[in-house]
Structure 1
Amino acid sequence: MFESAELEHRVDKASFDEQAPLLRADLLDAQYDVLQAKRFPVIILVNGVDGAGKGETVNLLNAWMDPRNIDTHAFPPPSDEERERPPVWRFWRALPPKGRVGIMFGNWYTEPIQGRVNGTMKASELDQRLEEIVRFEKMLTDEGALLIKFWFHLSRNDQKKRLKLLSKDPKTRWRVTDQDWWRYEHYDEYRQVSEHTLRHTSTGNAPWVVVDGFDERYRSLAVGRIVLQAVQKRLARPDGNLRIAAAPFQRPVPGENLLTSLDMSQKLAKKKYENELELWQGKLNTLCRDERFANRSLIIVFEGNDAAGKGGTIRRITSALDARQYQIVPIAAPTEEERAQPYLWRFWRQVPRHGRVSIFDRSWYGRVLVERVEGFCGEADWMRAYAEINDFEDQLVRDGAVVVKFWMAISKDEQYRRFKEREDTRFKRFKITDEDWRNREKWDAYEQAVCDMVDRTSTEIAPWTLVPANDKNFARIQVLRTLCERLENALKEKPVKKTPAKAAKKK
């Protein structure tokens, strides 16, 4: 894959001086067109061989464009905090919003490639990470991002010349480390793993661009032109073309469904409820203080009909926990900042560290519920969201999280009774709005969306629990019991142990 990048392309100084000013002006214009339109972010990945000009290219882009509207990130080895989350967590936090340019140096490709060469990652683990990356990048581009991936290449001989040249100059000597020379000695292994990586991750929506890093002037013009052409092409394309064709959605045969089949008559007497509440709250508190929980996290998701008792149930959970151990994440309509990012961005930011609990009052399932029913996104968008959500939860679970999801279900008649009670009770009036009554008119559409959601996202690692909630006592105990059982079973399992990436051996 690197043959063309080993031809030692050159551009003479006169040609560069003639072409660079115009290219620089065009790039700046394109950057401001992106900023003004705010239709998509531009994400530029910088990867490649040591000494091939990666750092110089990052500096060049910041010099040729307005650095005030560029988010530049250089990622060192993961910190302890970052290692307690899935690998992509720190990259989600660094994504640029629509209208801005993000340059990511040392990005999601660095650790897998280095880990495979250093021997800390098996071939099967590398392929698994690459598959995750492909899905991650597809989601970014499906959400509208322009993703430009550069691989800067040098032949083995050219890399040696470059490292020696940098080492001789007192102004650049500091840039060449023992690790650079170690990687040079293992050039062939790096090349093999890199070719494998590029081959498996160069896709139609996010292809790799391999750049010859031998000549600085050639490299600069090549990168500038590629970025300019990609941005201009994207600006010229209507947003409507971003929509992806979806296969026809198969509607179920009318009749009984997952929700209508629930036994809503189940109740729990007050005395038994109080005894069970004490039992399960104590059990939950003990489990969250178990030393094994230090390598786990607990993520609790609450969805349900309006007035189904989510808030009251959450209070019964938090009453059993140390306030320093949990956070409640209430989810409302996305803010302007959140709308400028992929829809999962605001949830990735709330992923807890090990030993912590995050409780989501509504969640990422809004994409396949509210946004679907209200028409805030197209069918293609919410159809692909099922797989994206399953992938999200899979990464959480493999990182040590216990994901427990509840749908709090009440009957239509019970909802009407609770709505009227809220209107007639002074300290409950804030709980009822015109929006609640409007949503009630779409009961059947929401019911169908919920059934589709459960069918497509209730997995062996993160199953849904449907809770009949006409009786609040019964619902709260079922939730607490389910939480304790799921957490207790998870603590019996051996969590995936993360080992810090080994540093490259020194020569």
Structure 2
Amino acid sequence: MFEAAELGRKISREDFDALAPALRTELLELQQQLRGADFPVIIVFAGVDGAGKNETVNLINEWMDPRWIETRAYGAASDEEAERPPFWRFWRDLPPKGKIGLFLSSWYHAPLIDRVQGRLTPAELDEALAPILRFEKTLADEGALILKFWMHLSQPAQKKRLKSLEKDPLTAWQVSETDWKHYEQYDKFLAAAERIIMQTSKGHAPWRIVEGADQRYRSAVVLETLKAAIGSHLAARSAARKVDAELRDESRDNGSAVTAALPPQPSILSSLDMTVALDPALYAQALQEQRARLALLYRRAIETRLSTVLVFEGWDAAGKGGTIRRLTNALNARDYQVIPIAAPTEEERAHHYLWRFWRHLARAGRVTVFDRSWYGRVLVERVEGFCSGEAWRRAYGEINDFEQQLTGHGIVLCKFWLHITAEEQLARFTARGEIDYKKWKLTEEDWRNREKWGLYEQAVNDMVERTSTHNAPWTLVEANSKPHARVKVMRTVADALEAALGAKKK
């Protein structure tokens, strides 16, 4: 694989100076077009120490407008980063649409080093690469342009390069003991890199091996590749937007024709006993007992640095807000955060739809409560046609992967669907309209959503079927009785914390 990158390719100064002005101009023109595009550009630099990764990143910032470029480099995870799932820091740093993100020592660094140091077998390396493949596919499916450059040097060329850097007082700081240790392990790095590149070079996120011995040659290869890729992607996305518009039109009539052609089908929600209730005389005692239990367990979770994420979905007027307030009364306000999710802001729309949820994940021991969540993609966005059918169908797998990363990191994840009947919703809407301090809760959108009850019910059933996993199951809450719903939610959270704390002791 690397033999072709060891041919000693060079570009003369005269030839490089001849191509540079036009190339730089074209890159700047493409960057201006990119600013109005519906995708980000994500560029990953990896490779042999001394092969010119830093210099190439600096050149891109010099030739192009740095205001629309974000450069990120990573070392060992900080305490703040280590307390969250490994991909949190990469998700947080993703560039918005219209910008270029340059990544050094990124998501490939840890598996590469772990394999070289013998902490991973080849099979374990492949397993460690699996979430990387899913991460890049998730970004590419939303339109991101992903380019990956492996900057290569032969071992003699690497030695020459490191010695050259050391001799110059202005560049000596770039060479560390670690660089020389890596040089001594050159063959191991090469073998690990070859396996990584073979496993992760995909059509949506290809690797380009660049010979790094000659500065002008590597610069020309990277910049020409960047120019061609951005130009091609701009054209492809323009064509894709027309197709997406047609798909969104189809999704606005989501499932109605199929539903009309089939006899009524039993659903998960229809199997719930909506007559279940909690006697008012027992409610106060049950709520107090569960609140005390939850308070004790949550303090133990803080001591053991066990994080909790709670997701609340449900019909309008199902009682999510009231349930959340009763639950958080058992917690210290310093240790939890309620994230109310509404229509995305301009900043959030410029990123992948999961970005705004990743960024809100709290540090170890804290509780994060999402009042509506990432499930909007397969609920409101599906029913209202805000995304294509292909996009919301793809989202089930993306959401399962996201939640797997949360639970795999040890986070306790509880998901609740608060269910009420259409008749109960109408009664609550009517009551809200008659109470001054509740009128603000009732909107025209709530009434419009009622008209699509059947479509939303089908979307909820599909959501539960496809995203209720062993590690992140849905809890369906019969919420016609608010007291029953509140106690059931608090008991479920307490049970989950108790189980996780017990598992930690083993």
Common fold: TM-score over 0.5: yes
Q: Which amino acid aligns with 2:55?
A: E
Partner Cα distance (1:317, 1:107) in 2? 39
Does 1:387 pair with 2:387?
no
Equivalent residues of 1:295, 1:495 under 8 A apart: no
Residue 161 of structure 2 corresponds to 162
Q: How far did residue 336 of structure 1 move? A: 1.0
Aligned to 2:59: 60
For residues 114-146 of structure 1, the C-alpha deviation after alignment (integer angstroms, 9 at most, x for no partner) is 122223445444322211011100111111111
Structure 2 residue 370 is the aligned partner of structure 1 residue 360: yes
The yes-or-no answer on 1:348 pairing with 2:358 is yes
Residues 214-261 of structure 1, C-alpha deviations (whole Å, 9 max, x = no match)? 100101111110000001111122444377999x99978623211111
Displacement of 1:39 in angstroms is 1.7
Tell me, yes or no, if the aligned pair for 2:309 and 2:367 is still in contact at 8 Å. Answer: yes
Q: Which has the higher helix share?
A: 2
Residues 60-139 of structure 1: matches in 2 within 5 Å? Answer: 60-139=59-138
Partner SS, residue 179 of structure 1? helix
Separation in structure 2 between the aligned mates of residue 473 and residue 433 of structure 1, nearest angstrom: 25
Structure 1: tracts of 5 or more residues without a match: 497-507
Give the corresponding residue for 2:11.
11
Equivalences for 1:206-245 in 2 at 5 Å?
A: 206-241=205-240
The aligned amino acid for 1:453 is M
- Aligned-pair CA distance for 1:494: 3.2
Q: Aligned residue for 1:436?
A: 446
- Give, in whole Å, the separation in 2 of the partners of 1:343 and 1:240: 22
Give the Cα separation in 1 of the matches to 2:209 and 2:145. 17
1:188 — aligned with what?
Answer: 187
Q: Is the 8 A contact 2:37 2:234 kept in 1?
A: no
What residue in structure 2 maps to residue 378 of structure 1?
388
What amino acid maps onto 2:436 in structure 1?
Answer: R
2:44 match: secondary structure: strand
Check whether the contact 1:293–1:354 (CA below 8 A) recurs between aligned residues. Answer: no
Percent identity of the aligned residues? 54
Deviation at 1:420, TM superposition (A): 0.4
Q: What CA distance in whole angstroms lies between the structure 1 residues aligned with 2:124 and 2:317?
A: 45
TM-score by length of 2: 0.95
TM-score (norm 1): 0.94
How far is 1:11 from its partner?
Answer: 0.6
| Counterpart in the other structure of 1:499 | none
Q: Is the 8 A contact 2:140 2:146 kept in 1?
A: yes
Cα deviations across residues 59-98 of structure 1 (Å, max 9, x unaligned)?
0000110111111111121101101111110011111111
Q: Distance in 2 between matches of 1:256 and 1:293?
A: 45
Report 1:131-150 matches (<5 A): 131-150=130-149
Confirm or deny that 1:462 pairs with 2:472. yes
Aligned residue for 1:352, secondary structure, equals coil
Residue 415 (structure 2) aligns with: 405
Q: State yes or no: 1:269 paired with 2:279.
A: yes
SS in 2 for 1:295: coil
Bigger shift: 369-378 or 159-168?
Answer: 159-168
CA shift digits 1:265-287 (9 cap, x unpaired): 01111221111111111111111
Question: Which SS does the other structure have where 1:43 is aligned?
Answer: strand
Q: Deviations over 1:308-357 (max 9, x none)?
A: 00000000110000111100000000111111111000000011211000
Give the conservation status (yes or no) of the 8 Å contact 2:301–2:497. Answer: no
Superposed CA RMSD in Å reads 1.9
Q: Distance in 2 between matches of 1:196 and 1:158?
A: 22
Q: 3-state DSSP class of the match of 2:368?
A: strand
Unaligned runs of 5+ in 2: none
Structure 2: how far apart are the matches of 1:236 and 1:217?
Answer: 29
Partner of residue 505, structure 1: none
